[in-house]
Amino acid sequence: MWFVDKSHPKVLVIRKFGEHFSLRLGIKALGVLLVLLIACILLIMLSLSIGSYQLSVQQVWQVVWGSLPSEHMNTVVWEFRFPRVLVAMLVGAMLALSGSALQSATGNSLADPSLVGISQGAGMAVVLLTVLLPQIVDVWRPWLAFLGALSVAAVIQGLSWSRQGKNSIRFVLMGIGVAAFINAITSALMTYGQIDQAMSALVWLSGSINGTDWMDVSLLATWFMVLLPFILVLSRSISTLKMGEVTAISLGVSLPQLRIGLVCLAVGLAAVATAVVGPLGFIGLIAPHIAQRITHSGTGLRLLITAVVGALIVALADLLGRILFEPIQIPAGLMTALIGVPMFIFLIRRSSTGRA
């Protein structure tokens, strides 16, 4: 059953299975989520119609619902633009959630998968493959990137662990150091491959969503669907962690388990996303912050809003990169970096990093 709490008229309460399952959702936040989802649909329509081959919204509508105006339009929409915008959105959502999870786990509002070595690990693995076995790059790239991201994240975790327990500052610093180290090796490896292969690795490294297909969409969607419930389940523990470690422990949260769970989720999400489109920076930094700004709500709902915001940002960045300097395609990675760095500066100036 679900009802609006009489004493708090702004909250929707859902109770199921007796009292075993209950949720309190802010109505305003639900409204925000709805608006964002509608914005997502509008953005998809826009992405499908704009491009070097212009389509009207009506034509797009017809193509999407199956009545074919022409074979040509069908190809453009279904083969090129639709998978591309879906990949952009899924990647955005996953990176945003990954950033959010990392920030909760480290207690540092500046943690982002691209700042702590996950993206770089994926990058090194792919460039290594490009240099050593150029024939099989396309097939194995996502898997290798995933493996690279995972192993680098594990290394950073292992190194920042000590007898005194985990130290979140050390985790971030260690990530930066390992990232710089791996970057040096990646760029050195770039000198060995064939120039055209190095060039294609470079395209991937700059975070481009160009040339994705339905295979990518299904891969991303599967992982997203698998990992999203986990992070939503953890959301309650996350909200107690926000009140401070001591409070969280006294409320019965097992901190080490929660942190390991969050970091694993963050790595998994970022690794899959990076494997498909390449290192796309700063989304994990921007999206959670925007989400926090536009609404005050419980952690679970905020995570959903964060994911949608991330999806919107990447899809928009990709659209802009596609149309701004036609026929040159600006990688989405550049657009997100352009928005991300001012955001980072703004965040670090307000953060308590200095005092930590």
Binding site for other proteins (CB under 8 A): 110, 114-115, 159-160, 162, 164, 167, 169-170, 172-174, 176-181, 183-185, 187-188, 190-191, 195, 198-199, 202-203, 205-207, 281-282, 328, 330-331, 333-334, 337, 340-341, 344-345, 348-356
Rounded to a whole number of angstroms, the minimum distance from the CB of residue 51 to other proteins is: 19
Q: Smaller CB distance to other proteins: residue 261 or 310?
A: 310
Q: How many degrees, rounded to 5, is the angle at CA 108 between CA 155 and CA 252?
A: 90
Determine what percent of the chain falls in helix, strand and coil, rounding each to the nearest 5. 70, 5, 25
Rounded to a whole number of angstroms, the minimum distance from the CB of residue 75 to other proteins is: 26
Q: Smaller CB distance to other proteins: residue 186 or 297?
A: 186
Rounded to a whole number of angstroms, the minimum distance from the CB of residue 131 to other proteins is: 12
Question: What's the CA gap between 318 and 83, in Å, rounded?
Answer: 12
Q: Smaller CB distance to other proteins: residue 161 or 214?
A: 161
Do residues 16 and 1 lie in contact, with contact meaning Cβ atoms separated by under 8 Å? yes
Rounded to a whole number of angstroms, the minimum distance from the CB of residue 271 to other proteins is: 18
Rounded to a whole number of angstroms, the minimum distance from the CB of residue 171 to other proteins is: 9
Do residues 200 and 139 lie in contact, with contact meaning Cβ atoms separated by under 8 Å? no
Label residues 173-204 b or e (16+ Cβ within 10 Å = b): ebbeebbeebeeebeebbeebeeebbeebeeb
Q: Smaller CB distance to other proteins: residue 127 or 253?
A: 127
Question: What's the CA gap between 82 and 213, in Å, rounded?
Answer: 9
Q: Smaller CB distance to other proteins: residue 305 or 319?
A: 319
Q: Which of 312, 301, 280, 324 is nearest to 50 (CA)?
A: 324
Say which residue the tokens 């909760």 belong to: 104
Rounded to a whole number of angstroms, the minimum distance from the CB of residue 325 to other proteins is: 9
Q: Smaller CB distance to other proteins: residue 228 or 313?
A: 313
Rounded to a whole number of angstroms, the minimum distance from the CB of residue 124 to other proteins is: 11
Q: Smaller CB distance to other proteins: residue 123 or 268?
A: 123
Residue 94 makes CB contacts below 8 A (sequence gap 6+) with 220, 223, 224, 227, 269, 270, 272, 273, 307, 310
Question: What's the CA gap between 267 and 274, in Å, rounded?
Answer: 10
